[in-house]
Amino acid sequence: MALHVPKAPGMAQMLKEGARYFRGLEEAVYRNISACKQFAQTVRTAYGPNGMNKMVINHIEKLFVTNDAATIIKELEVEHPAAKLMILASQMQEQEIGDGTNFVIIFSGALLESAEDLLRMGLTPSEIVDGYELALEKALEILPTLTCYEIKDYRNETEVSKGIKTAIMSKQYGNEDFLTSLISRACVSILPEKTTFNVDNIRVCKILGSGVHNSQVVQGMVFKRNVEGDVTKKSQAKVAVYSCPLDITQTETKGTVLIKSADELMNFSRGEEQLLEEQIKSIAAAGTNVVVAGAKFGDMALHYINKYNMMAVRLNSKFDVRRLCKSVGATVLPRLTAPTREELGYADEVRVDEVGETSVVIFRLEGRESRISTIVIRGSTDNYMDDIERAVDDGVNTFKGITKDGRFVPGGGATEIELARQIASYGETLPGLEQYAVKRFATALESFVKILAENSGVKANDVLSKLYAAHEEGKKNFGFDVEGEGTSVGDVVQAGILDLYINKMWALKYATNAAGTILKVDQIIVAKRAGGPKPPNPSSVVPDDD
Amino acid sequence: MQPQIILLKEGTENSQGKSQLISNINACQAVVDAVRTTLGPRGMDKLIVDSNGKSTISNDGATIMKLLDIVHPAAKTLVDIAKSQDAEVGDGTTSVVLLAGEILKQIKPFVEEGVHPRIVIKSLRKASQLAIEKINALSVKIEQVNVEDHRQLLEKCASTALSSKLVSQQKGFFAKMVVDAVLLLDELLPLNMIGIKKVQGGALEDSLLVSGVAFKKTFSYAGFEMQPKKYNNPKIALLNIELELKAERDNAEIRVEKVEEYQKIVDAEWQILYNKLDLIHKSGAQVVLSKLPIGDVATQYFADRDMFCAGRVPEEDLRRTMKACGGAVMTTAHDLNDSVLGRCEYFEEKQIGGERYNIFTGCVNAKTCTIVLRGGAEQFLEETERSLHDAIMIVRRTIKNDAVVAGGGAIEMELSRHLRDYSRTIAGKEQLLIGAVAKALEVIPRQLSDNAGFDATNILNKLRQKHAQGSCWYGVDISREDIADNFEACVWEPAVIKINALTAASEAACLILSVDETIKNPKSGDGAPPAMGRGMGRPM
């Protein structure tokens, strides 16, 4: 190690041996910048509808095929501290909006790249950061004026699908129309009257086989399992939900049953049977058709459930039980008691169906507003379905964004170019050194159009100049047209390519903040890792010596 | 000199760019080559020995792919589509892998020349959409007016599926059996209601279909010999009760104060058992089946009263018996009455090969059946079972959607022609790409001919000519080394197989083409040591 890193005499003495220490522009800032650039490069090609997928194999050998930046960075084990900062920013975006993660990484990467040039020109990092902050402020000021469309009635499926389409397009180009209609139908149908929209209420169920176009929305829930008992179909079902096992009640406390006489022994199991039958009978008497339990069904209990012609469904996940309750409006019963009228849930139909080769139990709720809906995704490979699931996820998150703020800005790079144009001219008006940084901010914004064009195999500079020309003429909604041949530009609003306003706003904020934080770092101290690769452990020494 | 920047964890493999895409395609090609020769009636089988030393002989694409244990991430996609085809239609697994591989192979030169993968993907999607529309337009709907005609149709589909399997010699025999079996089921057509039992020995033709339930005689206790083995119109009790002296409850404890009491307790245990047996006897059942063991005492008790019993019957057999004979599986003897007893016309314990089988026939609501397979080697029987499974799935699919197309490469040739014609009408790169898909579709008849040892080029030329003249059902005729109208020749396949195969193949191809970077993280846990060597550095 000592060969590579020159140690400052003062610092190195203070630190424990093995710790690494970098400082100054050369060692720390440029290094950070190039690490971040390299990282941004990885996700850069995944941006936009024509972005390429990445195959990521994580540490437990699970394969992901995706162009969703959030997934890629989650599965990558990034070591570099500065790159980690970018990831944090992007994760914030994921949590706040649920989409636009790639935007954050690319933009902060581009900002850092521009900063490198400025640093070499002799600006100090803090001047650059100040300039960026100024530019950001200006950008956020301009952004609302670019709003080109607003969804007011977010119960209208066609309006909503217009908004979601772009988000899906960047993930599943070619299937966007179909998926968008699925998602908007699912989202609108479960939109609650008063409370806010909960992303968790759109479930996704993946079943191997067939093709994407056979995916469907089911109002209610779909579980990939079969029923326990013999009854496979109930319509207008009253559903009782239990969190306990349906079996002869066992005591928690360890105890023995004390039998004193022969008669007691003779009647013991009969008594137990009768007790259970009574319980099941009372459940049936309350009008229950379907019994759902979060734990196991005993043989004996199942027997009586069959006898009283009820359907038995077992769910393994506690969360599933809770969601089902929400969906059918039932209360979970922790003990084996007869449910009251209020505790019973209702589903229009509960039945077993075969999708492909998989048996599924469907709790269908027609007509009435159900509070959970499930998108059944079909596809030919697991990875493909996983990727569609992520697209659906982004779409649902976009819908959530719409319910918060229905404003849209033009997509396809149009917003970025307009911002870049206005910020560049704003930069001219500034007196100080910030001018350079502000201008660079504008240049960084251009990178989106460049990437969109590059990913589609089109010359980036041609597109850029065409767009600038169009925007100078006042055509604010002109963006890169991915559908067209070659370097074509067009009105993206007419093409229905819209980006969520708050998505852009937060992404700009997070990216600038991340870039600022990284720039302000001028010293890196890496402590010696506990049990890390430094001390040669026997297992690695042996193969080395052979 | 700047020190190297460590962005990712050490040991992470990262490959990127066009070369990565090409290498993925090459990996898929290698996988396709493994199953290529199994296609069609003259396809060869593969013998695969897995890590446990168990050998499997099969020509079922999905089975082979599953056993191959592929680690290459891109090639795994092909395994997935084979599985998906298996799950959705149950047959055509080899075709789907072959098709995906061939599409990739035809596309490869374009990628090498620098066509952007996204453009390729767009064209692929378009091509598959066009092809599916064409299948839907071409497929012949067989109307279910006549039961006899419908049956004929099903048998043809089944025999087409079977003709590419190991049992193709007996396809007529098995096609009939499979159709009979499926038609016995109720409208949901549950697959698990068709039991397949394998008995070694005898010839394939000795296999039989039992329109009811058959299962291997279970382990029996003393007294079994005295029980009658044949009944006419028996009543059947299905139990989930252990008929044996046993502890009433695990954690129960008995305390007695007097010696007489002790004897009483012992008697009581016996009494409990006898009570149960009495109840069963009184219910009028003549055949008693239980999921749990039936002990000596019970066996002898039943033998004395002219009843038959079998304990430890596998759960699924018991369920099938219940479906066939009616009644319910009882967990307690107290509720036994006439309504929960099953009925059938004839029960018999029969010798089949070296084993004895319990057979229930003439069941009241026979929604289930059992196929007893006979044959030589164990692996041979297993392969026969897989073949029958495929055929059963085909018949089920055909019943659900009754559109058929001609097999033997006919539909693929027609689709290929259609796509090629279409491609000539458009300008731009799409023309070449759709043309490539059209070419890829020809792989099915080509491989069929290759596997049969014919001159594929010659056959394909003849086929192209026929299809250009408008005879859309011409395909490879394996028996005459020529081409023939396969619709006339009754080589039929359900349209849904082809639709699913095309969808899956194009989805897989798109997926593989859309990847331009692979990042492999080091395996957690034991994966660390090899990566360490570099990090440590000798210069220390």
Measured in whole angstroms, the distance separating CA A53 from the mean position of its chain's CA atoms is 16
Question: Can you name the residues that pair with B49 across neighbouring β-strands?
Answer: B55
Beta strands, E only, B435-534: 474-477, 482-485, 492-494, 515-520
pLDDT for res B524: 63
C-alpha distances (whole Å) from B348 to each of A189, B177, B214, B230 are 57, 21, 10, 4
Greatest Cα pair distance in chain A: 104
Angle separating helix axes B429-441 and B93-113, nearest 10 degrees? 150
In the predicted model, is pLDDT for residue A240 greater than 60? yes
Kindly provide the b/e burial profile for residues B343-353, where b requires at least 16 CB atoms within 10 angstroms of the residue's own CB: bbbebebeebe
Of A26, A258, A262, the CB nearest to B267: A262
CB < 8 Å from B in window 359-418 of A: 379-384
Give the Cα separation of A497 and A479 in Å (integer): 9
Give the Cα separation of A192 and A184 in Å (integer): 14
Residue B57: which of B520, B274, B382, B448 has the closest Cα?
Answer: B382
Residues in chain B: 540
Pairing of strands A311-314, B287-290: unpaired
Q: Which residue of B has its CA nearest to A233?
A: B188
Measured in whole angstroms, the distance separating CA A299 from the mean position of its chain's CA atoms is 41
Give the Cα separation of B232 and A188 in Å (integer): 62
Question: Which uninterrupted H or E stretch holds A301?
Answer: helix A299-307
How many angstroms separate the first and last alpha carbons of chain B?
Answer: 19
pLDDT for res B100: 92
Token pair of A57 as six digits:
């194999």
Confirm or reject contact between B507 and chain A (CB < 8 A).
yes
Give the Cα separation of B214 and A519 in Å (integer): 77
In the predicted model, is pLDDT for residue A25 greater than 80? no
């996204």: which residue's tokens? Answer: B118
CB < 8 Å from A in window 175-214 of B: 188, 190-191
Of A3, A80, A539, the CB nearest to B7: A80
Q: A522, A444 in Cβ contact below 8 A?
A: no
Kindly provide the b/e burial profile for residues B487-521, where b requires at least 16 CB atoms within 10 angstroms of the residue's own CB: bebebbbbbbbbbbbbbbbbbbbbbbbbbbbbbbb
Confirm or reject contact between A456 and chain B (CB < 8 A).
yes
Residues of A whose CB is below 8 A from B2:
26, 30-31
The percent of residues in chain A predicted with pLDDT above 90, rounded, is 7
Q: Which residue of A has its CA nearest to B524?
A: A59
Give the Cα separation of A360 and A298 in Å (integer): 22
Please indicate whether, in this complex, the C-beta atoms of B88 and A261 are within 8 angstroms of each other.
no
Candidate from A11-20, A314-323, B260-269 with smallest mean pLDDT: A11-20
pLDDT in tens, A130-188: 999 999 999 999 998 888 888 877 778 888 888 888 888 888 777 788 888 888 888 88
């404890």: which residue's tokens? Answer: B253
- Cβ-in-10-Å burial (0-12, 13-18, 19+) of A294 comes to buried
pLDDT for res A543: 39
Beta strands, E only, A173-321: 202-208, 216-223, 233-242, 257-259, 290-293, 311-314
Give the Cα separation of A362 and A359 in Å (integer): 10
Mutation site, B18, B120, B254, interface A, largest A CB count within 10 A:
B254
3-class DSSP state for residue A378? strand
Confirm or reject contact between A542 and chain B (CB < 8 A).
no
pLDDT for res A379: 83
CA angle (A399 as vertex; A398, A401 as ends), nearest 5: 60
How much is the mean pLDDT over chain A?
A: 82
Of B322, B507, B523, the CB nearest to A211: B507
Q: Following DSSP, what letter does each residue of B199-268 receive, concatenated?
A: EEBS-GGG-EEESEEEEE-----TTGGGS--EEES-EEEEE---BS---SSTTEEE--SSHHHHHHHHHH
Token pair of B475 as six digits:
């395909």
Rounded to an integer, the average pLDDT of A519-533 is: 72
Per-residue pLDDT of chain B (540 residues; tens, 9 = 90+): 344 455 666 667 777 778 888 888 998 998 888 888 888 788 888 888 888 888 888 888 888 888 888 888 888 888 888 888 888 777 888 889 999 999 999 999 998 888 888 888 888 988 998 999 999 888 888 776 677 777 888 888 888 888 878 777 888 888 888 888 888 877 767 777 788 888 888 888 888 888 888 888 888 787 778 888 888 888 888 888 888 877 766 677 777 788 878 888 888 888 888 888 888 888 888 888 888 888 888 888 888 888 888 888 888 888 888 878 888 888 877 777 777 888 888 888 888 877 888 888 877 766 788 888 888 888 888 888 888 888 888 888 888 777 888 888 899 999 999 999 999 998 888 889 999 999 999 999 999 898 888 888 999 999 999 999 888 889 888 888 888 888 888 888 888 888 888 888 988 898 888 888 888 777 765 433 443 434 443 443
Q: Which is it for the CA torsion B178, B179, B185, B186, positive or negative? A: positive
3-class DSSP state for residue A20? strand
Q: Following DSSP, what letter does each residue of B153-200 receive, concatenated?
A: HHHHHHHHHHHTSTTGGGHHHHHHHHHHHHHTS-TT--GGGEEEEEEE
In the predicted model, is pLDDT for residue A1 greater than 70? no
Question: Can you name the residues that pair with A222 across neighbouring β-strands?
Answer: A362
Task: Tell me the backbone φ, ψ of residue B194, rounded to 5 degrees.
Answer: -105, 110
Question: Can you name the residues that pair with B351 across neighbouring β-strands?
Answer: B356
ipTM score of complex: 0.74
pLDDT for res A413: 86
Per the rule left: phi > 0, alpha: psi between -120 and 50, beta: everything else, B152 is alpha
Please indicate whether, in this complex, the C-beta atoms of A65 and B5 are within 8 angstroms of each other.
no
Give the residue numbers of B annotated as catalytic, written as ranges: 60, 93-94, 390
Give the Cα separation of A504 and A483 in Å (integer): 23
Token pair of B17 as six digits:
């760019």
pLDDT for res A510: 92
Please indicate whether, in this complex, the C-beta atoms of B518 and A485 are within 8 angstroms of each other.
no
Other C-beta atoms closer than 10 Å to the C-beta of B217 total 16
Please indicate whether, in this complex, the C-beta atoms of B329 and A357 are within 8 angstroms of each other.
no
CA atoms within 13 A on the CB side of B512: 35
pLDDT for res B201: 82
pLDDT for res A544: 37
pLDDT for res B39: 84
